Chains A and B, each alone.
Chain A
Amino acid sequence: MSAWTRDEMMTIAAARLLADGMVCFVGIGLPGAACNLARLTHAPGLVLIYESGTIGTRPSVLPLSIGDGELAETATCVVPLPEIFSDYLQAGRIDVGFLGAAQIDRFGNLNSTVIGDYAKPRTRLPGAGGATEIAAHAREVFIVMKATPRSFVPRLDFQTSGGHFPGRAVSGATGSGPAVVVTDVGMLRPQGPRNELALAATYPGIPAQEAVAAVGWPLAIASTVESIAPPAAAELEALRALEARTAAAHREPVRLPL
């Protein structure tokens, strides 16, 4: 097996956090790869829920959207979207919400709405989707994002989803907020009375200084920093096979039965 990339390390480190049997609400983007890798390796009983209403889905390829047909065909059941948000997420039945975003701050608050001013944005991003309520109501939130000073910022342009914001405990949010931020240069976890994110784990060959340089606020280092094991051959093989199957499936031409 050839050497691994940082993106592969990030996805594999994120996948390892998911335990077998957990009920996981999968956000759009990077979380999908990590969640499905976990299911295909150490956590075959992981229950994946997509906001499109698919519960217990087991796709063999990664969907491009969160509602590809493969997700419905391989699901335990498909329910209407309002039910997913009210009767599953809001009702507290989700163990882990797995999110990405365009910007994150030191308390794990996320921005996926705008860069610049809301009324006259420099860059209009897609918006909240399911993220705001996932961040509020999943028992725990895992975040996966590549770290750059542009994305790990001292101050968000817009707060789309709440992390460890002041008043969270009395806000009506039923979940406990971000537990971990998995990046391509290490993992951050909240620490201290204000739950500020600190470097809590490093990857083989990537020193703590690289993580500090990739984060746009003065990144604290946790009192103990875990050393993450490199990707195992089986993990890399499963991830690369998943990505190869996905690329092949997305190249298939579509034929309309007309």
Chain B
Amino acid sequence: MPKFLALRDAIRDHVADGACVALEGFTHLIPFAAGNEIIRQGRQQLHLVRMTPDLIYDQMIGAGCARRLTFSWGGNPGVGSAHRIRDAVEQGWPRPLELDEHTHAGMAAAYRAGAARLPFGMLRGYIGTDLPQHNARIGSVRCPYTGEEIAAVPALNPDVAILHAQRADRRGNVAITGITGAAREAALAAAKLVVTVEEVVEELPPAMNGIVLPHFVVTAIAHCPGGAWPSYAQGHYARDNGFYRRWDAIARDRAQFTAWIDRHVRGTADHHAFLASLRLAA
């Protein structure tokens, strides 16, 4: 049975300095509130894992939370660069960032293997790319039946996965609808799972083939409406594409970025206050 906690307590209890942490959600249901809380609590030296480190990791890396990044695509979707990630890679600011770089198909295989507690994932992948020359963790195995050489990636088993979901019921079952990306795989690959939710309901609607994470795989749940903003929660609010565009100018400059984080993240007590500081909540 997961614990229902305030987000502050969930992060304090389950995200330690130096931990391997995966905040997942593929354009949809990105756990921004949790990312902000990690910044607020000043976590350091994290090994961040995420297929698409976009604004959420731009913020966390720019705020100095990370030492290492496992990823397959890092940018501001449809807008351009993740400027803070670029600055960390190109200039080592605010600290150097070690890269463990993959392709989407490779990351997906690594999460799937992690979820199944297998040592590695395999795929017919990393073909025609220089990536394996720069990442010694990308290997290969020989099929015992056909002799075919197949790419291999070590399983991903983060210390904690953090997701945002539409709803949980009072027993702690978590339901996600819409685009799920690799959220389910990341959740099951991690040792612990922390979920922020838009709403807590008595009874979930029948899921049929929808994605449900049953209560016994969930460690902690924090009720956090608006917790995916500026990404979106299908059925609750749309993606704030205007903010993704505005972020480009905020993140381009170190001083401007730091001022934004100081004012809106470090300078607010919680996610509701964060949204209020941006005039998104009363």
Contacts and interface: CB of A to CB of B under 8 A. Distances in A.
Given A121-B89, A127-B101, A258-B281, A82 B126 contact: no
B147 interface: no
Interface in A92-107: none
A53 B26 contact: yes
A248 to B, nearest CB: 12
B73 interface: yes
B75 to A, nearest CB: 3
Interface stretch (B15-23, B105-113, B215-223): B105-113
B98 to A, nearest CB: 11
B167 to A, nearest CB: 13
B131 A128 contact: yes
A81 B182 contact: yes
A158 B135 CA distance: 13
B77 A28 contact: yes
Given A72-B178, A132-B127, A85 B105 contact: yes
Interface in B127-165: 127-131, 134, 148-150
B74 A67 contact: no
B197 interface: no
Contacts, number: 216
A163 interface: yes
A28 B78 contact: yes
Contacts of A72: 28, 178-179, 234
Given A85-B105, A90-B105, A254 B242 contact: yes
A81 B74 contact: no
Contacts of B104: 51, 81, 85, 128-130, 133
B69 to A, nearest CB: 11
B234 A122 contact: no
B105 to A, nearest CB: 4
B118 to A, nearest CB: 14
Interface stretch (B6-14, B224-232, B257-265): B224-232
B78 A64 contact: yes
Interface in B204-224: 211
Contacts of A125: 75, 81
A55 to B, nearest CB: 11
Nearest to B78: A64
Contacts of A86: 105, 108-109, 123
A66 B244 CA distance: 13
Interface string A154-195: 000011111101001001111000000000000000000000
A122 B131 CA distance: 18
Nearest to A54: B179
A251 B245 CA distance: 11
B84 to A, nearest CB: 11
A254 B237 contact: yes
Interface of A: 28-29, 51-54, 63-69, 71-73, 78, 80-82, 85-86, 89-90, 109, 113, 118-133, 135-137, 158-163, 165, 168, 171-174, 250-258
Which 8 A-B residue pairings sit nearest by Cβ, starting from the closest?
A162-B128, A67-B27, A126-B75, A65-B77, A129-B73, A82-B108, A64-B78, A85-B105
